[in-house]
Amino acid sequence: MDSIVRSNIDKWVNEIHPSMIKWRRRFHQHPETGWTEYITTYEIAKNLEPLGFRLFIGEEAILSEARMGVPNEEELITADERAGAYGICDEFLEKVKGGHTGVVAKIDSGKPGPHFAFRFDIDALPVFEDEQASHFPYEKGFSSKERGKMHACAHDGHTSIGLAFAHFLSTHLDKLRGSFTLLFQPAEEGSRGAKAMVEKGWLDHADWFICGHIGIKDLTIGQLAATTTDFLATTKFDVSFSGTASHAGAKPEEGRNALLAAAACAQHLHAISRHSEGTTRLNVGTLHAGTGRNIIPDRAVLTGETRGETNVLNRYMYEEAERIVKASASLYGVNSAISIVGEGISAECDEDFVSIIEKAADQSKWLEKPMKQISAGASEDATHMIKRVQESGGKATYMIFGTPLAAGHHHPSFDYDEDVLLTGLSALIYTTLQILEEGQGEKEA
The CATH number given to whatever domain includes residue 238 is 3.30.70.360
Query: Which residues touch 66 (CB under 8 Å, ≥6 apart)?
Result: 195, 196, 198, 199, 200
Q: Tell me whether residue 445 is in a domain.
A: no
List, for residues 401-419, the tens digit of each pLDDT value. 999 999 999 999 999 999 9
Pairing label, strands 208-218, 395-403: parallel
Q: State whether the Cα torsion 14-186-33-220 is positive or negative.
A: negative
- If asked whether residues 32 and 133 sit together in one domain, one would say yes
The last residue of a domain, from among 314, 342, 370 = 342
Query: Which residues touch 212 (CB under 8 Å, ≥6 apart)?
Result: 158, 224, 398, 399, 400, 401, 424, 427, 428
Amino acid at 106: K
Q: What is the pTM of this model?
A: 0.94
- If asked whether residues 337 and 358 sit together in one domain, one would say no
- If asked whether residues 330 and 186 sit together in one domain, one would say no
Q: Tell me whether residue 399 is in a domain.
A: yes
Stretches in the chain below the pLDDT threshold 70 = 1-5, 440-445
Model pLDDT, residue 357: 97
The last residue of a domain, from among 342, 358, 389 = 342
List, for residues 305-355, the tens digit of each pLDDT value. 999 999 999 999 999 999 999 999 999 999 999 999 999 999 999 999 999
- If asked whether residues 276 and 310 sit together in one domain, one would say yes
Residue 343 to residues 65, 228, 232, Cα–Cα distance (Å):
15, 19, 11
Cα-Cα-Cα-Cα torsion 301, 307, 311, 316, nearest 10 degrees, comes to -70
Query: Which residues touch 110 (CB under 8 Å, ≥6 apart)?
Result: none
Residues 280 and 307: beta-carbon distance below 8 Å: yes
- If asked whether residues 111 and 82 sit together in one domain, one would say yes
The last residue of a domain, from among 321, 342, 363 = 342
Whole domain around residue 416: which residue ranges?
6-231+347-438
Q: Tell me whether residue 22 is in a domain.
A: yes
| CA dist., res. 323 & res. 61, Å (int) | 37
Q: Tell me whether residue 35 is in a domain.
A: yes
- If asked whether residues 152 and 281 sit together in one domain, one would say no
- If asked whether residues 243 and 202 sit together in one domain, one would say no
- If asked whether residues 264 and 139 sit together in one domain, one would say no
| CA dist., res. 395 & res. 98, Å (int) | 34
- If asked whether residues 147 and 39 sit together in one domain, one would say yes
Pairing label, strands 233-242, 224-229: unpaired
Give the number of domains in the chain.
2
What secondary structure, in 3-state letters, does the chain show? Answer: CCCCCHHHHHHHHHHHHHHHHHHHHHHHHCCCCCCCCHHHHHHHHHHHHHHCCEEEEHHHCCCHHHCCCCCCHHHHHHHHHHHHHHCCCHHHHHHHCCCCCCEEEEEECCCCCCEEEEEEECCCECCCCCCCCCCHHHHCCCCCCCCCCECCCCHHHHHHHHHHHHHHHHHHHHHCCCEEEEEEECCCCCCCCHHHHHCCCCCCCCCEEEEEEEEEEECCCCCEEEEEECCCEEEEEEEEEECECCECCCCHHHCECHHHHHHHHHHHHCCCCCCCCCCEEEEEEEEEECCCCCECCCEEEEEEEEEECCHHHHHHHHHHHHHHHHHHHHHCCCEEEEEEEEEECCCCCCCHHHHHHHHHHCCCCCCCCCEEEEECCCCCCHHHHHHHHHHCCCEEEEEEEEECECCCCCCCCCCECCCHHHHHHHHHHHHHHHHHHHCCCCCCC
- If asked whether residues 203 and 155 sit together in one domain, one would say yes
Q: Tell me whether residue 443 is in a domain.
A: no
Q: Tell me whether residue 444 is in a domain.
A: no
- If asked whether residues 391 and 313 sit together in one domain, one would say no
Q: Tell me whether residue 1 is in a domain.
A: no
- If asked whether residues 153 and 248 sit together in one domain, one would say no
| CATH code of residue 147 | 3.40.630.10
Residues 208 and 229: beta-carbon distance below 8 Å: no
Q: Tell me whether residue 75 is in a domain.
A: yes
